[in-house]
A and B are shown apart, each in its own frame.
Chain A
Amino acid sequence: MTVAARRRQGLVAWGFALPFVAVFGLFMLVPLAGSVLMSFTDFRSSDVTTPWAVDLVGLDQYTALLGDPRFRRALLNTGYFVLVGIPLTMTVALALAMALNSGINRFRTAFRVGFYTPVVTSVVAVAVVWRFILQPDGLLNRLLATAGITGPDWLHSTVWAMPSLIAMAAWRNMGTLMVIFLAGLQALPSEVTEAAAADGASAWQRFRHVTLPLLRPTLLLGGVLISVVYLQFFEEPYVMTRGGPLDATLSATYYTFDQFGFGRYGAASAASYVLFVVIAAVSLLQFRLLRARD
């Protein structure tokens, strides 16, 4: 290419990129840079019109944050949600994917649509019906009563509120993982499991020693995706419990949103960065753990 032609192509390329660059710069890069700066200032909602008049406070927001028992509680709650929620969701999704991949042909599409439907529905709408299911005389407790069990007031119990939200999150997210796992399973060469079967391996042995190791990259992808979502969990407590009872379902993102609501934008930004670091560290750790054995 001549110099002139190269220059022309460069101009044309930037022309193609321009609309994206404008939106991306103004609504993504500027806020990203702004969030770093804000977390080191005492930015409040009243400073929106005069953003340069705020005071630098260094690491004060961060130290105040880590000293706040509510924030520590929020981090612990997020850890609880993630540590129970991810294995649960991944196990259910893998079981469904295995069942759908076990050679059945009838109603396969219908099943897949059914399991995936919760993924596409609005959390606000879904919350309305889940509150009914979980209320003291709701569907779940009525079901338990037939087995002679008196169920608790799920959403108003400091013990049961979080497990209820975990169940709801698993229900909402299993479809995504199921589809990813199903794609992974279908890409596996069937000869391998058939050979294992011919060698007399039981169904469990085939799953444990053949399918699972081969599926590791897919499990890794699913695990990273779901942990990024779960570490930021916010919608379930917002629509179901407002973080209660007694902060039992207060998540890190919920805490951030609370600070935003109180007008403490600097504190909110600092909290979001603590969470960001955790998310990055967890993703990295997962890659390490699951890659190491390859």
Chain B
Amino acid sequence: MTTTMERPSLTVRTPAPPPRRKRRPRHLVYGVLVVAAVLTVMPFVWMLLGSVKPDAEIRADPGGWLPHAITLENYRQWFGALGIGTFLRNSLIVAAVTVLGNLLFCSMVGYALAKLSFPGRRVLFVLVMVVLMVPGVVTFVPLFVVVARLHLVDTYAGLILPFLTSPTGVFLMRQYMRSIPDEMIEAARIDGAGELRIFARVVLPLCGPPLATLGILQFLASWNNFLWPLVVAQSRDRYTLPVALSLYSTGEQATDYGLLLAGSVLVIAPIVALFVALQRWFVQGVATAGLK
């Protein structure tokens, strides 16, 4: 997959090493990298191995690696009695709607800010930049008050609406769209195309890279979002995966370690799979936007 996609400019591979370099330091670099990579990935490997152990084995040997007896009982319990399907569905619904909303609404306002002149444009952009710099903790409490006043606590709307657009997304789309030549838009206008048509047929098709970046960033943020759904989702029917896992890890199942590890694998597996498949885009997004 590494050669099929267009290579973004910032992640271009380094050119061939200078010819006079000695071989020995190369081994040293590989040695350091391998050790660091093993240490980094070790918790995930241990998690995966632990998730197929019976609880008694983990309890008897908490530092052990290879399972003596492999069991899928932990996973069976998640899909059976614990009803992970509900949480999985909730996480997917919230993430999907959040991503779609961001892609559509941020690119719409991004287009207006980048290419149309209208009264209030500067004010709107300044407000977006101000909110971009405000840390989440500042608005958390009054945001909850707003959502509670609108009777959206414990609803999908309460989980989704506050994240349906994002100042980061607006900034990203606006910056990219500014690089689209005005002549293209003018030409379409002269051909009689309406603004909606220009946006959908001329501008959006050119915005693949920032849309990919924005979509990935928002999916990641939504899937891993924890504090907001913990406060807003109050019944089992609305829990997202991280909320369910965190409640189980402090609730009555808190001592069933095998179950907790299996739950962790189930929360992490989809996002890691997505990341490995799209890693070039993930990395490009972080590198170009400087955002997480």
A contact residues vs B (CB 8 Å cutoff): 6, 9-10, 12-14, 16-17, 19-21, 23-24, 26-32, 34-35, 38, 48-49, 51, 95-96, 99-105, 107-130, 132-133, 135, 137-139, 141-142, 171, 176, 179-180, 182-183, 186-187, 190, 194, 197, 221, 225, 228-229, 231-232, 234-235, 238-239, 253, 256-257, 260, 265, 268-269, 272-273, 275-276, 279-280
Contact = CB atoms under 8 A, between A and B. Distances in A.
Contacts of A257: 137, 140, 227
B261 A124 contact: no
Contacts of A128: 47, 245, 249, 260-261, 263-264
B275 A113 contact: yes
Contacts, number: 292
Interface in B122-163: 124, 127-128, 131, 133-149, 161-162
Interface residues of B, number: 103
B124 A35 contact: no
A28 B63 contact: no
8 contacts: A10-B116, A14-B112, A17-B112, A118-B40, A129-B264, A179-B287, A180-B290, A257-B140
Contact of B134 (A48, A114, A187, A276): A276
Interface stretch (B13-21, B66-74, B76-84, B207-215): B13-21
Contact of A133 (B43, B149, B223, B263): B43
Given A13-B117, A35-B141, A180-B290, A104 B26 contact: yes
A190 B264 contact: no
B18 A228 contact: no
A13 B112 contact: yes
B220 A120 contact: yes
Nearest to A221: B290
Contacts of A180: 286-287, 290
Closest 8 A/B residue pairs (Cβ) = A103-B17, A34-B142, A13-B118, A125-B264, A142-B63, A31-B142, A183-B287, A20-B109
A102 B279 contact: no
B106 interface: yes
Main secondary structure on A side of the interface with B: helix
Contacts of A99: 29, 32-33, 36
Given A14-B118, A29-B127, A35 B292 contact: no
B187 interface: no
A225 B161 CA distance: 26
B268 interface: yes
Contacts of B261: 128-129
A51 B141 CA distance: 13
Given A14-B120, A48-B145, A102-B17, 4 more contacts: A29-B131, A129-B50, A225-B292, A280-B133
